[in-house]
Amino acid sequence: MWLPKDERETLVKYYNYLQDTQEYKRFGSLSERVYSATRKLIKRGLVHEIIEGGAEHAECLAAFVAQEPIGLQGFLASSENDVEYNDITLRLTLEGYDLGRKYCSKSHTILLWCSEYKIWVILGLIISFVGVLIAIFKD
């Protein structure tokens, strides 16, 4: 699955903190871009939000009392004042864990970079140009 850049970077950040699907952590000081990307990841079913008063109320309460929120200050911030002070407790879903692992691998990162910067189009144009030059000077 291909994700937009903000969602991809946010998922990798969460993957680095949450090493399995049963672990949950609190995250705080989210910038507007991170908060928006997190909401989109939740809608896609890649990240599960543990909500106070929901089915995982004990987990949420334990995370709130026992854990300090992991500060993401400066991560994907548009400006210095661009901070949402909402704490959010998250857990990766199995699909989110697999996708996070895939995005962390070097080979997949290179392919994403190539697709993002349209390297294939640029290489195709260069090869075409060299082919035309060879055809012209061959005669």
Q: 95-104, pLDDT tens digit by residue?
A: 998 888 888 8
More confident residue, 130 or 60: 130
Stretch 24-45: mean pLDDT, rounded?
A: 87
More confident residue, 52 or 46: 46
Q: Can you give the pLDDT at residue 52?
A: 73
Q: Has residue 41 got a pLDDT over 90? A: yes
Other Cβ atoms within 10 Å of 70 Cβ, number: 16
Q: Has residue 43 got a pLDDT over 90? A: yes
Q: Can you give the pLDDT at residue 26?
A: 83
More confident residue, 85 or 137: 137
Got the DSSP string for the chain?
----HHHHHHHHHHHHH--STT-EEEEESB-HHHHHHHHHHHHHTSEEE--TTSTTHHHHHHHHHH-PPEE-TTTT-SSTT--B---EEEEE-HHHHHHHHHHHSHHHHHHHHHHHTTHHHHHHHHHHHHHHHHHHHH-
Select, from the ranges 11-15, 28-32, 70-74, 105-109, the one with the highest average predicted confidence (pLDDT): 11-15
Task: Give per-residue pLDDT as tens, 61-115.
Answer: 766 666 677 777 767 777 666 676 677 888 899 999 888 888 887 777 677 777 6
More confident residue, 37 or 78: 37
